[in-house]
Each structure stands twice: as C-alpha cells, then as structure tokens.
Amino acid sequence: MRAIIQRVKRASVTVDDEVIGDIGKGLCVLVGITRDDIPLDLDFMAKKIAGIRLFDDSEGNPWTKSAKDVGGGILLVSQFTLCAQLKGNRPDYHDALDGSLSEGMFNQLVEQVKKIHGDNVATGRFGADMDVMIVNDGPCTIEIDSRKSEYLESSMYSRVGQKNVEKYFRQLEKQAQIEANRKAKAALKQQQKAAKLAGELANIAHEAEAKE
C-alpha cells in the first residue's frame, strides 16, 4: 500500500461541480492499493497516517505533533495511479488491486483512520473523476510504502497465515458481490417504476383519445 501524505492549509475534492470532501489545516493523503496488500498493510498505514508528526508544537518545535494533536483533519483520496510501473514512457497498472476489491480495502482504511483520528476525516468518491485541490503547507510531502517498512521483517505470512489472507480476500469479494447485487436491484426497481409510469401515462392518453 502506498501513500503520499501532504501537510496542507486546506484541501478538497470536487465531483461534477460538487464539493464532496474538504478539510482545513491537516493532511491530504493519496492512497494506492496494490494486489499484494493484506490486513497488515491496512493496520500499518492507518496508524502511520493518523500518527505521523508533521506539525509544530506550541513552542515552534517542528515534527512533534500529529494532525489530531493540532485539531486538523485528514482527507483520504484513492489513487490507483500510485501503483504504476513505467514501461518505457507508458505507465502500467497491473500492480493495482482490482476496482471492487480495492474499494472495499480503501473503505476499511478510512474506518480504521477514523477509529484512531476521530470523525474529522473526509474522502473523495472511489472511482470517480475527481478534481483535487491541495494547498500544500511548506511544502511538506511524505511518501510511505508499507512494503518497504519494518513490519515485513517479522514475516507477515507467519503472523497472519496464508489461509487468513485468502479468507480476507474472499470476504472482500463477497462484499463486492453484495454491493453489485444491491446496485443491480436498485436499478431494476427504478426501471420497473419508469415502466409502470409510462404505462399509466399511455392509459391516460388512450382514455383521453377515446373520450374525444
């Protein structure tokens, strides 16, 4: 899991001319989820995002306070392009986790950050074409890759077990299928309502013609 953490004076996400997430002072975090990521990556990244000390204390000492310490917000934005590998000059995104699974993992990351940081956490809209406004304070930008961090040295597979990893992704797939089914049922319901309304309008028109 990869994250670009920026200390900001303000940041926001706009979709279709509507601001859907915004913060003042705090952190704007762009997140890329890879095919190799597992729950340990989530835990590691949530703790780093919520705990990273990029702010001064009241005496002006740098790098001593987290966003929560200074009453700041956190804006989390999913960005699969962080998983790119360049082949020549063309980016390749095969390392990025598939959309439905990635959305589930991103939502879990958001919830874990909220548990640590509190409710002052905003997000973009997964998979949407977003306009992201960032006023970087400093500038101050930190890159974190969970796959280059110390937790890997403890042998993650011995800690979580391969079966647990497989179970976790099966759960994500199940959640993605449930959400897809819910959206399909909602769309069908809307189509049925539209068809019923069209039928009623046709009957009204037919009756009007008969009276004439």
pLDDT score for 185: 84
Is 80 annotated as catalytic?
yes
What value does the mean pLDDT take over residues 41-64?
94
Nearest to 1 by CA among 137, 151, 160: 151
Q: Which pTM does this prediction carry?
A: 0.72
From 6, 34, 79, 123, the catalytic residue: 79
Residue range 81-108, pLDDT digits in tens: 999 999 899 999 999 988 778 888 999 9
From 81, 162, 177, 191, the catalytic residue: 81
Is 171 annotated as catalytic?
no
Torsion sign, CA atoms 67, 72, 74, 75: negative
CB 31 within 8 A of CB 3: yes
AA identity, residue 183: K
| Cα(137)–Cα(58) distance, integer angstroms | 17
CB 72 within 8 A of CB 25: yes
From 6, 80, 112, 123, the catalytic residue: 80
Residue range 135-172, pLDDT digits in tens: 999 999 999 998 886 555 444 444 444 555 666 667 77
Q: With cut-offs at 50, 70 and 90, classify the pLDDT of residue 198.
A: confident
Residue 60, CA atoms < 13 Å, CB-side half-sphere: 0
Residue 168, CA atoms < 13 Å, CB-side half-sphere: 18
C-alpha torsion 110→112→114→115, nearest 10: 170
Q: Name the 3-class secondary structure at 22.
A: strand
